[in-house]
Amino acid sequence: MKKTVVGLTGQSGAGKTTISDAFRENGFEIINCDIVAREVTQAGNECCKELAKLFPNCFDENYSLDRQKLGEIVFSDKNKLQMLNDTIYPFINKLIDEKINAAPSRFILLDAPTLFEAGADKLCSVIVSVVADFGIRLERITKRDGISAELAKKRFSSQHTMEFFKAHSDFVIENNGSVNDTFQKTCEVIETIKERYNGG
């Protein structure tokens, strides 16, 4: 069975959850890359042992990761963020590929905030990006993650711009309106994808 893998990515705070829910309700199996990342960084895993060589202060003797401490380090230093990415993404992509192959559904949504950074776009048939205005994203992410506006802006600065997402995606959903409006936009995109890949 040939599978259609849709890569869902976009800006922090753009609101991928609503889009992901729409895909789920339209029969897509969801692979959440944040969950995959947590699986590969469970205490004692090989990935943690490799990361501990680079960020020893972020691990205890059992190779258990302090995510907040690691985040504070990498979001303020682009070189260290790159070191993290170069180490963790091969582990993540290997597990994603295994999950895609094991999935019973023909249509799969890869919910991946760092799809391009990880090189996971190469696993996808279609790329859908979610974008939103800066002020809206800032409000959403400070409420969602309970972080300061300053920390949220640092996180934004380490990510791709709206122009990048628009240039590298098959579909772009602007999520500045209501949940219902965004859900409807997403359903229209899903219908187009299914028609294109003979699933509609």
Q: How many CB atoms lie within 10 A of CB 140?
A: 17
Angle, helices 149-157 vs 134-145, to 10°: value is 120
What distance in Å separates the CA atoms of residue 68 and residue 124, rounded to the nearest whole number?
Answer: 30
Nearest to 175 by CA among 6, 23, 17: 17
So what's the pLDDT on residue 2?
Answer: 84
Q: Is 113 part of a structural domain of the chain?
A: yes
Q: Is 55 part of a structural domain of the chain?
A: yes
So what's the pLDDT on residue 1?
Answer: 67
Q: How many CB atoms lie within 10 A of CB 97?
A: 12
Task: List binding-site positions.
Answer: 13-18
Q: Is 47 part of a structural domain of the chain?
A: yes
Q: Is 200 part of a structural domain of the chain?
A: no
- How many angstroms separate the first and last alpha carbons of the chain? 16
So what's the pLDDT on residue 199?
Answer: 53
| DSSP label at residue 32 | E
Strand partners, 172: 129
Domains contained in the chain, number:
1
Task: List binding-site positions for ATP.
Answer: 13-18
* Sheet containing 126-131, strands listed edge to edge, beginning at the edge strand earlier in sequence: 29-32, 107-111, 4-10, 126-131, 171-174
Sequence-separated (6 or more) residues with CB below 8 Å from residue 55:
70, 73, 80, 84
Question: pLDDT truncated to tens, each residue of the chain (200 aa)?
Answer: 689 999 999 988 888 888 999 999 999 999 999 999 999 999 999 999 999 999 999 999 999 999 999 988 998 888 998 999 999 999 999 999 999 999 999 999 999 988 998 999 999 999 999 998 888 888 888 888 888 888 778 777 767 888 999 999 999 999 998 889 999 999 999 999 999 987 54
Q: Is 30 part of a structural domain of the chain?
A: yes
Q: Which domain holds residue 70?
A: 4-192
Q: What is the domain-level CATH number for residue 20?
A: 3.40.50.300
The pTM for the full model equals 0.84
